[in-house]
Amino acid sequence: MNPERDGQTPGNDVAGVVLAGGLSSRLGQEKALLRVHGQEHPDLLRRTHNLLTALLPRCWVACRPDRPRPGYDCIFDQVEGLGPFSGVHAALRAAAERGFAAVLALSCDLPFMDEATLRRLLTARETAPAGRLLTTFCQRETGFIEALTAVYEVAALPLFDAALAHGERKLSRIIPQERQERIFYSQTEALPFFNINYPADLELVRRLLAAL
């Protein structure tokens, strides 16, 4: 257990950030505004924001300066065109300025994400050995890590600054594996991490929801 966090409620030193700065060009429509659960339910941006605000003391929405999200506490990409990297980097800077120790980054296009999965993430971060800079999920069969459902420590900021200087923007490559806390899951447990990128993904989500 990390002695610096022992005795704290999981998440009370963590800020949330919804990653909502994408262009949704592959989908052909604004994914953050989709109401896949029905018109009477929140859109994906609001749903994701609600998940984080239920668990954390502060939540931001990371977006592009030319496309702010009205009604949300927005932070903006410092460098555009770098994908989710820019949102996480900006959130870490905001967290450092406001006294948070870490940021839980969550993509806005995960229609099956749930509170139990996020609580599991926060608990793993709380009990991780000292020195871990990233807590995330890892699919056992493939080794793929869920970099868009992850807790990044503010102490990782120098690594993000170095990555920016060297043109590295892939989140999974920024923090060395030995400084990652990984929660392993199987492909049969992968539904919370299903994301919408293409029209076929959206159609599959609608079919799955209709079957539930």
Q: Which parts are annotated binding residues for GTP? A: 19-21, 31, 77, 109
Structure tokens at 154: 């503010």
CA distance 28 to 1: 45
Burial degree of 104 (CB within 10 A; 0-12, 13-18, 19+):
buried
Structure tokens at 77: 């990409």
Q: Are 174 and 159 in contact (CB under 8 A)?
A: yes
Q: What are the binding residues?
A: 19-21, 31, 77, 109
Q: What are the binding residues for Mg(2+)?
A: 109
Structure tokens at 40: 């009477």
Burial degree of 85 (CB within 10 A; 0-12, 13-18, 19+):
buried
Q: Residues 6 or more apart from 142 whose CB is under 8 A from it?
A: 187
CA distance 96 to 103: 10
